[in-house]
Structure 1
Amino acid sequence: MTRIAIVTGASSGLGKEFVKHIDAGASGQIDEIWVVARRLERLEALQRTCGTPVRPFCLDLTDPASFEVIEGALGQTPGAEVALLVNNAGFGVFGNVAMQDKRDGGAMVRLLMQAPVELIYRALPYLRRGSRIINIASVAAFLPQPNLAVYSAAKRFILDLSRSLDAELGGSDIHVTAVCPKFMQTEFLDTPGDATAARAMTAIGFERADRVAARALRASRRGQSLYIPSLDMKAYYVASRVLPYKTALAAERALGII
């Protein structure tokens, strides 16, 4: 049996932190870590820092052919078992939809929604009792967010998908965890689109990527379907469940977040 951890968006930021923690044993015995991103040189650099064998996949997950590559590799690996799948790859564009490049919306839909679904389908035949899936959602998933409309809608999709899948698979001790962090100081914010909107929305504060990765892996081991790292965002989540949307939206406007 070859126990595999697959991490997308692994070349930097949160994905890279997941790889470090998995390599250090945070997910138990892992025989290979498969790292997926577009920048091969960064994946190879990451490979050199790990004690666990790392297999780099230089792929663009907005390209449907990339999923066939992963599926083919799993099929060619003797005794392949996907012990952990981390759907982390993503990007977001801030600002009014009408002002955005039309290509950005489609790319977000493909990367944030289609890619996790496709990879989950590819991994399903290789999941075993104790396997885990971590899907990176966001606090933006809690309410529809003007100036982050496509991104927040996509993350809501991931949140709902994760909780439904966890209910379906949990009886087999296969659990799916949606992780909803705040923004982090990563390359995600290097090209935000509308910088003014990005500054307003990140006024809620940032989280440390290393801490989010470590705690998300712990929540996954425990079989939690939802993990919100910060206390203030846990309170925000509760409020989002009870307040009418217009009331919550008015509160965000009053705080200058949108």
Structure 2
Amino acid sequence: MTFRASVLTLYPEMFPGPLAVSLAGRGLAEGAWSLETIQIRDFATDRHRSVDDTPAGGGAGMVMRADVLARAVDHASQPGDPRPRLLMSPRGKPLTQQRVRELAAGPGAVILCGRFEGVDQRVIDLRGLEEISVGDFILSGGEPAAIVLLDAVVRLLPGVMGNAQSGEEESFENGLLEHPHYTRPQEFEGVAIPDVLNSGHHAKIAAWRHEQAEKLTRKRRPDLITNRVTKDG
């Protein structure tokens, strides 16, 4: 089964962008996943191809229209399409590695890239859009966020990553940040690779890596430690 991504955007020229190179690009070329872009303006009905209007109740900026977006979503996601409908939005639920894995195990996704001040709430509710955020910051639009999401998902698809084990030991996979990495030269500017990594003792190496991961997580992301304790408890 090929993972199918349909991206609804005002700027289709932004795709595939970075997704055309490295792991994602190779997977795209080899057919591990497919990508189509859909121009939202094609579903406007006036001669100006308007996709937005002033916010009800007043305020700054413009809001993307529900009727135009609904037609675009309906075109991309026909009845019976099992793919989730996602809206890239700063107010969405934070994207996690768990959600990434869920998406990678599915048939694909329909991704709406928001612009301006946001999207009319009615299309979100009536079309069942799942709002997803890639961080607590504001972008000029949902396109960069969609690229981030797709890159995270595509690399987990079967055959895309050269060594499947690489994905199992990364940050967030076990609730911790990833341990430090080292490679040659043996000594760099007076700092040597930790002895344990040259010991050949796999159990000791695994224990050291876990200890370092916990230490790093406690320092940089104590919230992840708290979440682990809550789940285990």
TM-score (norm 1): 0.30
Report which of the two has the higher share of helix. Answer: 1
TM-score (norm 2): 0.32
